[in-house]
A = this chain, B = another copy of it.
Amino acid sequence: MSRSRLEAFSDGVIAVLITIMVLELRPPEGVGLHDLRPLVPKVSVYLLSFVFLAIYWNNHHHLMQVVERISGGVLWANAHLLFWLSLTPVATAWLGPHLDDSAPVGVYGVVLLGSAIAFTILTRALLAVHAPDSRLALAVGRDWKGKLSLVAYAVAIAVAPVVPWLSVAVYAAVAAVWLVPDRRIERVLPARAGEPERRARPSA
């Protein structure tokens, strides 16, 4: 089975998800700048969700580059990931105007946790059809960032009923950690255009 359609379909779903969230940003009724005030928390949460979906797209993109084969199980692990990601817009819409409330904050964390677990399952399903010394296995390695995120989300969900803003801070911190692109994959990819490419990339 080829991985190209899997990539195309995932790209399509994530592209739609990342943009339909913007439908939640309704223009204000009034025409003054101060009418934008209620939009500020909504736009902030939209930005957070945008970053999370972009992170998943980036990591999916990086992961697939070292994949040599896929299986029926991988297709379903991928669909499972897309399902969790597809809950992001509704979780975002609930959190936007309710940043101080335990339930919306906790549920947002559940969607993040579900997505992270689904990504882990996808990685495992891929490892199962690759050799232990494959580029994929080398690239994934011990996956400490993935494991750390799972723990962070679980802690944030547990904290949400008590100090909701702390949970939101944890979500933002995890996003910040992932904003740094996953060097594990780049490490094992041969430089396409030779050494100069490697050296020219410090700003990445």
A-side residues, CB < 8 A to B, are 1-2, 5-9, 11-20, 22-23, 25-28, 31-33, 35-36, 47, 50-51, 54, 57-58, 61-62, 64-65, 68-69, 71-76, 79, 82-83, 86-87, 89-91, 93-94, 98, 101, 103-104, 106-107, 125, 128-131, 179-183, 186, 189, 192-193, 196-197, 200-201, 203-204
Contact = CB atoms under 8 A, between A and B. Distances in A.
A15 B6 CA distance: 11
A51 B184 CA distance: 32
A132 to B, nearest CB: 11
A9 B11 contact: yes
Nearest to A128: B203
A25 B18 CA distance: 16
A75 B83 CA distance: 24
7 contacts: A8-B8, A12-B14, A17-B22, A22-B86, A25-B90, A32-B103, A33-B107
A18 B2 CA distance: 22
Most chain B CB within 10 A, of A11, A32, A82, is at: A11
A27 B87 CA distance: 11
Interface centre among A22, A86, A89, A180 (most CB of B within 10 A): A22
Contact of A83 (B27, B50, B72, B189): B50
B90 A61 contact: no
Please report whether the interface of chain A is mostly helix, strand, loop or mixed according to DSSP. helix
B19 A16 contact: yes
A31 B89 CA distance: 17
A19 B22 contact: no
Contact of A11 (B5, B31, B64): B5
